Amino acid sequence: MKRRQALLTLGAAAAVPVAGAIAKEMRGYPHDMSLEKAFMPSPVHQGTSWKVLTDAEERRTLGAVFDRLIPADEHGPSATQAGALVFLDGQLAGPYGEGAMLYRKGPKSPGEDQLMQKPQFIATPRERYATGIKALDTYASRAHGKRFADLPAELQDQILAGMEEGSIQLSRDVNTKAFFELMLMNARESYFADPMYGGNQDMVGWKLIGFPGARYDYRLYADRTGQALGLQPVSLIPKD
């Protein structure tokens, strides 16, 4: 039996009334189903003051990195054009930047990275960015005589490729490969997260992949996997 036929059979069986069953009134449920404002995500607005990424030169360096990871082309804008720095600043200013969900108590045991199969950090993401961006500019200046943002795109790509492969070590204080992976992950998140969080402006990332966004109900389209739905994306940002 096919899966859909099985679901339809179960649905038909569930619709058959049970003899002698008596409906009872549900009691004791909460009548006010609205969420507390403290638990609601707060939109990040373009043009607001910087909270963490306050250094203009460091923003320029980070923006250059993000725009090499997601450059502008015929398919859409670059990462920073879509709000990547605004997104990251908002994230670093909140629980993510503080490492609120990470276990960071020391001491870090020898061989712990191998045991966990990925690097473990006591430093928060906010601290890792502060250290990593400075180390990247220092490396670029020492190796090529200019800050990273002032290098030609070919050299920028060469440095980033070396960071990704592990052939470049920015400094003894930075796990360079892991720092590259952190920046790549956050660049991707900025491009595909809900615009409420500052990135994916005008829902460019969603339009690129055909994602309809935060719609209330997808039941009409549940059987159209892999098909272009032609729906305009919808954000969590209130329209009123």
Over residues 161-174, the mean pLDDT reads 96
pLDDT of residue 81: 98
Contact 145, 180 (CB under 8 A): no
Checking if the pLDDT of 49 tops 60, the result is yes
Tell me how far apart the alpha carbons of residues 70 and 78 are, in angstroms, rounded to a whole number.
Answer: 5
Tell me how far apart the alpha carbons of residues 120 and 130 are, in angstroms, rounded to a whole number.
Answer: 17
Q: What is the CA radius of gyration of the chain?
A: 24
Dihedrals phi, psi of 94, to nearest 5 degrees: -110, -160
Checking if the pLDDT of 140 tops 60, the result is yes
pLDDT of residue 188: 98
Selected residue with higher pLDDT from 169 and 17 = 169
Provide the 3-class DSSP secondary structure of residue 76. Answer: strand
Tell me how far apart the alpha carbons of residues 49 and 43 are, in angstroms, rounded to a whole number.
Answer: 14
Q: What angle do CA 90, 91, 92 make, to 5 degrees?
A: 95
Tell me how far apart the alpha carbons of residues 206 and 239 are, in angstroms, rounded to a whole number.
Answer: 18
Contact 191, 70 (CB under 8 A): yes
Amino acid at 24: K
Using one digit for the tens of pLDDT, what is the confidence trace for 215-240? Answer: 888 888 889 888 888 888 999 887 65
**Which residues are registered as beta bridge partners of 193?**
none
Provide the b/e sequence for 36-66 (b: ≥16 CB within 10 Å): eeeeeeeebeeeeeeebbeeeebbbbbbbbb
Under DSSP, the state recorded for 108 is P
Which tokens is 137 given? 């500019």
Checking if the pLDDT of 2 tops 60, the result is no
pLDDT of residue 5: 47
Q: How many percent of the chain have pLDDT more than 90? A: 58
pLDDT of residue 15: 46
Checking if the pLDDT of 160 tops 50, the result is yes
Which stretches does DSSP call E strand in 33-119? none
Tell me how far apart the alpha carbons of residues 179 and 129 are, in angstroms, rounded to a whole number.
Answer: 8
Over residues 31-39, the mean pLDDT reads 59
The lowest-confidence range among 36-45, 117-126, 130-139 is 36-45
Q: How many percent of the chain have pLDDT more than 70? A: 75
Using one digit for the tens of pLDDT, what is the confidence trace for 65-113? Answer: 999 999 999 999 999 999 999 999 999 999 999 988 877 776 666 776 6
pLDDT of residue 37: 64
Residue 171, Cβ density class (10 Å: 0-12 exposed, 13-18 middle, ≥19 buried):
middle
pLDDT of residue 50: 95
Contact 42, 36 (CB under 8 A): no
Over residues 197-202, the mean pLDDT reads 95
How much is the pTM?
Answer: 0.79
